[in-house]
Each structure stands twice: as structure tokens, then as C-alpha cells.
Amino acid sequence: MKRNIWCAMGIVTGLVGCGNMQPEDYLRADLLKLGFIPYEAPIAEAGTGTLVGGSAKAMNIYAGPQRCFPDIDPQTQKKNDIRALAAIDLPSRTSSYRVSGNARVGLVSALGKGNSPVKAGVQFDKAQTIEFSYSAPKREYLDAVKLISFYRNSMPENYMDPKTGTIQNACKDALDKLGYIREALVVDGMSFKFFSASGGAIDLTVVDPNTLLEFGFGTTWQVSQKYELKVSTTKYIGYRMGQLKRENDGVSFCTANTVKNDRYELKCESLDPDPVVRALGFAGATKVQGSKPSFLNGLNKLVPLQAVYK
């Protein structure tokens, strides 16, 4: 596995590193270079399809990835294949730095944003230096062409409007106002090595890793070769925001991979490339799936996505 060594690695041997840059600064630079937005706040739901309102620094999560974009088609009960994974060229990084002062804050920030499986900072006094790396990430995305048919014909959450007696779709109502995570960068795991003040690696068969890091609920980890702590729980580290609105007889796709003044910069296109797809129209299942979902109660009170259109 290819690894790039952050120049902060020099701290281990006492060399001067990269000034005052923090671990999250390097991660941020990598993500921006790839055209992804770094997560600014800790959130439980971070995968593709998550319904989002607000701004990058103050995300409001209204529904998880499977609520409006489920992997199983609610009408046919078959896998719809709207999601895909692809390798992306972002080599694994390794960083070593002292876990005190600003570096400690940097570690907490780097791990705590998005859906972090670990929370740093339980008992750093047992380790003076920590080496941290993550596995090569993948790009998780919603297939645009398949999404057209899904949006028109299989979007879940149909309900009966008691005022008009017509069948409405809660997800489409929400998507006219909110954004959704259209693409996300996910890593399969992270690894840690801890070093004492003398520079020696800490034997994790003697020191309980739970005294060094706080693990989130459902986190899977193991000790490898006595000195390496491997966390195999996936983590989302970056994303591209999307909007999906009803527009005449087609679908307008909007995507943002940059943020300016805490507002998403959206670029939009009408994507309807195939006449067969166009013929599908807004058929939509007429079957009512239940009452109006609670996450849409007071639609006018939802905080809309804070965005500008480029």
C-alpha cells in the first residue's frame, strides 16, 4: 500500500516539520484537491442520500441515507443499484505528531468530523506521540442516470394529502427545499501506533487501547502485531452536496463541491439523456405507503440548504 508521509513525521525524530499545520489541514487540502468538501461538524449520518439542510458548518440532518434513497426498491423489493463504489486516487497518509497542545486539538478535529468511529483524547498522558493513518478511500456515489428512473417511479414515502385528497411524495417535497449528499468519500479503516516519551512503541497487549482512545458505539477494532491498533469501521471523510428538484417534465441535478462564505456553490444541469428514460415520465407509484412522515411535519419549518448557484 502506497503511503505519503506528512512532514509532521519529523516530530518523531525531533526534526522541524511543517510549521503549525494540523492533521486536519493536510486532510482538508487533499479533499479539496479531489473536489470534495471536508466535513465541518460531527454527524451520525454521512453517506450518500442523507437529506441535509443548513450550511456546511451547521448541517441539519433530516433523514438518513436509506429513507429517501433506499438500496431496496420499495415497490419491487429488489435491489435498485442506484449506489456505486469506485476507487479514487488518494494514497494513504501517515502522520506522527505529539499529542499535546494544538496537535491534540488537531487530532480531535481530524477524527471527530463526519461519522467518526473513535473520539480522541481519553488518556493522552500515556502516549507522547501518536502515528495515525487511514486506508485508501473509495468514492460512493448515486448513479445519475439510474437516479432519474428511481426519482420518477420508485421514490418512497407516498402519502395522502388530507386537504386535497391527492397522493403526494414526502421525499420529493423535501428535496425541493433541502439538499442531499450526492457523493461521499469513505475509508475502510484507520490505524494507530502510540509512542512513549522515550520514543518506544507502546505494547497494546499490555496497555488497554480503551485507555488511549474512546471508541464509538459499534466500532470494530483489533491489535495487530502488539503495537498497531486497527479500526475497521468505515468513516466518511468528505462529500459533494446535491439538489434534486422537480422541473417541468425532467429532473434538474445540482452539485456542489465547493463552499464559499459557508454557502454551497451549486452547479446545475438538466440530465435526461435517454429518450427511453424520458418516456418513463413521472409515473410514480400511486400506492399510499403510510401517513405523512414525521420528518416532514411542518415542511415550511425545514431549514433549507444554504446555497448559491454558479
Residue 64: the pLDDT is 92
**Alpha helical stretches, state H, the chain:** 23-34, 65-68, 101-112, 144-153, 170-175, 275-280
**More confident position, 199 or 2:** 199
Residue 5: the pLDDT is 35
* Model confidence band, residue 264 (pLDDT cutoffs 50, 70, 90): very high
Average pLDDT over residues 241-247: 85
Q: What is the pLDDT of residues 126-140, one digit of tens each?
A: 777 888 887 778 999
Using alpha carbons, list the distances in angstroms from residue 4 to 132, 187, 278: 12, 16, 46
| Cα separation of the two ends of the chain | 39
* Model confidence band, residue 250 (pLDDT cutoffs 50, 70, 90): low
* Model confidence band, residue 27 (pLDDT cutoffs 50, 70, 90): confident
d(C-alpha 95, C-alpha 80), whole Å: 40
Instruction: Give the pairing of strands 250-256 and 307-309.
Output: unpaired
Q: pLDDT > 90: what percent of the chain?
A: 27
Residue 159: the pLDDT is 84
At residue 211, does pLDDT exceed 70? yes
Q: What is the pLDDT of residues 148-184, one digit of tens each?
A: 888 888 888 888 888 888 888 889 989 989 999 999 9
Q: What is the pLDDT of residues 62-102, one digit of tens each?
A: 999 999 999 988 777 888 889 999 988 765 566 676 666 56
Instruction: Give the pairing of strands 3-5 and 37-38.
Output: unpaired
Residue 9: the pLDDT is 33
Residue 52: the pLDDT is 94
Residue 148: the pLDDT is 82
Mean of pLDDT over the chain: 79
Question: Which of 39-43, 257-261, 269-273 has the largest mean confidence?
Answer: 257-261
d(C-alpha 236, C-alpha 161), whole Å: 37
Residue 34: the pLDDT is 86
**More confident position, 113 or 49:** 49
Average pLDDT over residues 193-200: 85
Of residues 80, 71, 75, 31, the one with CA closest to residue 49: 71
> Comparing 26-30, 194-198, 261-265, which segment has the lowest mean pLDDT?
26-30
**More confident position, 213 or 272:** 213
